[in-house]
Amino acid sequence: MADVAVVGAGLMGHALALVFALGGHQVRLTDNNPETLERAPGLMATALATLSQAGEADGTWNRQRLSAAVRCVPSLADTVKGAELVVEAVVERPDVKRAVYEQLLALMEPDAILASNTSNLDIFPLVPEGLKARTIIAHWYTPPYLCDLVDLCPGPGTKPGVVEHVRDIVAAMGKAPVVFKQMVQGYVANRLQAAMQLEVYRLLDEGLVTPKDIDDSVLHGLALRIPILGIMAKADFTGLLLMQQGMKNRSYTPPVPREKSETLDKLIEEGRTGVMAGKGYFDWGDRSPEALFQERDRKLLALKQALRAIGPMEGK
Ligand SMILES: NC(=O)c1ccc[n+]([C@@H]2O[C@H](COP(=O)([O-])OP(=O)(O)OC[C@H]3O[C@@H](n4cnc5c(N)ncnc54)[C@H](O)[C@@H]3O)[C@@H](O)[C@H]2O)c1
């Protein structure tokens, strides 16, 4: 059992605190917004209830045990004092991250490891010299109590063994770490998602399809195969000759990267920002965001359990 500090208690931070607690660690969670920190125990308890109902958390977990395992601490200094691992999950802004790392240098134990959950930033130039040897990226997917993938990247100055140590901690919690030899910006899964995003916004902005057409194509097409075959094994089953021919016959040009989408901008202007606002591409009716997240979690858990029983098609 390690002493783990989680800095930032937003969408990812509170969920990461729950993951580490369920993994057997003693966690302290902080946020510089008191309201966010106050909201965290309720959100963790809701997620825990969903996991317990699905049999994914043992019966001894309840609200009381959770509040003993994750302490919400207003002060950053008290949060990181004594922690062996500091998980950084603050907003994705270089200026904020840089300032937090400066503070952490003064506050962290001399051997403690800093693991950033950044999605897209190369954080290593933001890290002060005194922390570089023990800083890595450990990037999780939301919700991290359901998604097992954790991308692990060392920085150019990270000491050998640091990534492997975090990989072992993560793997011991039943998660699926993927270790990159160096910083791979965007990792694999986020790069694939980004490529899909480019196609999605081109199709929408050119008025070729509706959001429903996109989700129907994914849910009834891509989604069935990916959980069993991934992408590379699927290519083997398709046959690599057809893959080669498909590249030669290219019937349309891949989208040029753009930094905006008219469709997206219009929805945001109308206040349609997603489930938290009750509407985005789709209308989510009168259900609260909590109820919608719970339903999503229940369905994802049912799928995860079924996939665990089925198992992937794994080549050597
Ligand atoms: N949202 C996702 O799906 C997702 C997935 C993977 C990784 N990430 C990454 O995780 C990190 C956090 O993202 P999020 O979605 O949880 O954001 P969020 O906005 O929900 O939470 C960030 C929290 O950081 C807090 N914060 C800001 N400055 C702080 C400081 N100086 N000290 C302590 N707390 C501070 C904010 O008050 C906020 O509660 C980002 O780097 C993001 O790229 C997000």
Q: Domain holding 142: CATH number? A: 3.40.50.720
Residue 10 lies in a domain: yes
Residue 48 lies in a domain: yes
Distance 98 CA to ligand 1 centre (A): 14
Distance 12 CA to ligand 1 centre (A): 6
Q: What is the mean pLDDT of the chain?
A: 95
Assess whether 170 and 263 both reside in one domain.
no
pLDDT (tens digit per residue) in 255-310: 998 889 999 999 999 999 999 899 999 999 999 988 998 899 999 999 999 999 99
Distance 97 CA to ligand 1 centre (A): 10
Assess whether 99 and 194 both reside in one domain.
no
pLDDT average, residue stretch 130-141: 98
Residue 185 lies in a domain: no
Among 270, 275, 297, 272, which residue's Cα sits nearest to residue 286? 275
pLDDT average, residue stretch 224-245: 94
Assess whether 212 and 168 both reside in one domain.
no
Distance 44 CA to ligand 1 centre (A): 16
The per-residue pLDDT for 276 is 87
Distance 86 CA to ligand 1 centre (A): 14
Assess whether 49 and 123 both reside in one domain.
yes
CA contacts within 13 A on the Cβ side of 111: 4
* CA–CA separation, 134 and 148 (whole Å): 24
The per-residue pLDDT for 14 is 97
Total domains, the chain? 2
CB burial of residue 221 (10 Å; 0-12, 13-18, 19+): exposed
The per-residue pLDDT for 253 is 87
Assess whether 174 and 194 both reside in one domain.
no
Q: Give the rounded distance of the alpha carbon of 186 from its chain centre.
A: 12
* pLDDT band, very low/low/confident/very high, at 65 (cuts 50, 70, 90): very high
- Ligand 1 atom at minimal distance to the Cα of residue 120: 43
Q: Which of 18, 91, 187 to mutate to test the pocket of ligand 1 (most atoms within 8 A of CB)?
A: 91
Assess whether 157 and 9 both reside in one domain.
yes
Assess whether 258 and 127 both reside in one domain.
no
Assess whether 159 and 278 both reside in one domain.
no
Q: What residues flank ligand 1, with Cβ below 6 Å?
A: 7-13, 30-33, 36, 89-92, 96, 100, 117-119, 139-140, 142
| Reported pTM | 0.92
Q: Which two tokens stand for residue 12?
A: 């990812």
Torsion of CA 192, 173, 223, 308, to 10 degrees: 150
From 146, 179, 212, the end of a domain falls on 179
* pLDDT band, very low/low/confident/very high, at 99 (cuts 50, 70, 90): very high
* CATH number of the domain encompassing residue 278: 1.10.1040.10
Residue 136 lies in a domain: yes
Residue 315 lies in a domain: no
The per-residue pLDDT for 290 is 85
The per-residue pLDDT for 1 is 80
Distance 11 CA to ligand 1 centre (A): 7
Looking at the predicted structure, is the pLDDT value of residue 152 above 90? yes
Assess whether 115 and 195 both reside in one domain.
no
Looking at the predicted structure, is the pLDDT value of residue 250 above 90? no
Residue 316 lies in a domain: no
From 154, 179, 204, the end of a domain falls on 179
Q: Give the rounded distance of the alpha carbon of 158 from its chain centre.
A: 22
Residue of higher predicted confidence among 59 and 103 = 103
Assess whether 203 and 169 both reside in one domain.
no
Characterize the bridge pairing of strands 70-72 and 176-179.
unpaired
Range of the domain at 85: 3-179
From 158, 179, 200, the end of a domain falls on 179
The per-residue pLDDT for 235 is 94
Residue 246 lies in a domain: yes
Which residue's C-alpha comes closest to atom 26 of ligand 1?
A: 90
Which residue's C-alpha comes closest to atom 18 of ligand 1?
A: 10
Assess whether 122 and 15 both reside in one domain.
yes
Assess whether 264 and 142 both reside in one domain.
no
- Ligand 1 atom at minimal distance to the Cα of residue 30: 33
* pLDDT band, very low/low/confident/very high, at 179 (cuts 50, 70, 90): very high
Characterize the bridge pairing of strands 85-88 and 26-30.
unpaired
Whether the bond between 160 and the residue before it is cis, its omega within 30 degrees of 0, is no
Residue 184 lies in a domain: no
